[in-house]
Amino acid sequence: MSYEPKLAAALSGATLAQLGHWRKGTDGEGAILLPELSATRPILYSFRDIIALRMCITLRRASSLQKIRRALTTLRVDLDERDHLSRYTLVADSDTIYLATNDEAVDLVHSRGNIVIHQMVQVLGPYYYDGRHVPALFQPRSHLSVNPAVRGGEPVITGTRVPAMQVASLIRDGVQPQQIASIYPGVSAAAAEDAVDFADYADSYQRQAAA
């Protein structure tokens, strides 16, 4: 069975414009998906292409196009995985894209080739539980990070060893966010605001327990 672009779009959810954009480049050098049956007019997609397109749409809902392209370059060039895209399971969270297998997942965007436990991919990402939005473990806020190798996993301002809760305490004591850099060089006002927001979130658990 072959699928013209209109039908491929209807079955995958991608727009015709997206299909055209995703065909640009050559495999491994920018293209997200080249039609398996015919990449030149008349353009024809295979069933495997439809599966791959649906996966791309799922990734696009959680990640940027730039990250998807980077992940596919890692997959095809760095890892030399050049089978049809439908043969792979790619999983996205708010921070990266993984190549998932039965036992593990490989980070394709940041630590390219870094292996993490596949069962932990969804656990480490953000999710909703009991009416709360629980943030991603390693990036609880845009400017905060958690790394077991930095201060034992205490939330810190990203790129520093400055504890987020310490920054939040200063703000609560009256220091303005834009003044934090005079105390901790490299800590922006936005990072300071994230620290307070995260501290408020953490405190909400204590308030809930006391209620």
Let me know whether 75 and 51 are in one domain.
yes
Q: Which amino acid is at 158?
A: T
Domain extent at residue 188? 136-210
Does residue 167 lie in a domain region? Answer: yes
pLDDT digits (tens, 9 = 90+) for 169-195: 999 999 999 999 999 999 999 999 999
Does residue 59 lie in a domain region? Answer: yes
- For the chain, what's the residue count? 211
pTM metric for this prediction: 0.55
Let me know whether 120 and 163 are in one domain.
no
Q: Is the dihedral of CA 109, 114, 118, 124 positive or negative?
A: negative
Let me know whether 145 and 92 are in one domain.
no
Token digits of residue 181: 């850099």
**Cβ-proximal residues to 185 (8 Å cutoff; 6+ apart), any chain:** none
pLDDT digits (tens, 9 = 90+) for 79-102: 999 999 999 989 887 788 989 877
pLDDT digits (tens, 9 = 90+) for 20-33: 999 986 544 568 99
- As a whole number of angstroms, the distance between CA 130 and CA 33 comes to 39
The terminus-to-terminus CA distance of the chain in angstroms comes to: 61
Domain limit, last residue, from 75, 100, 124: 124
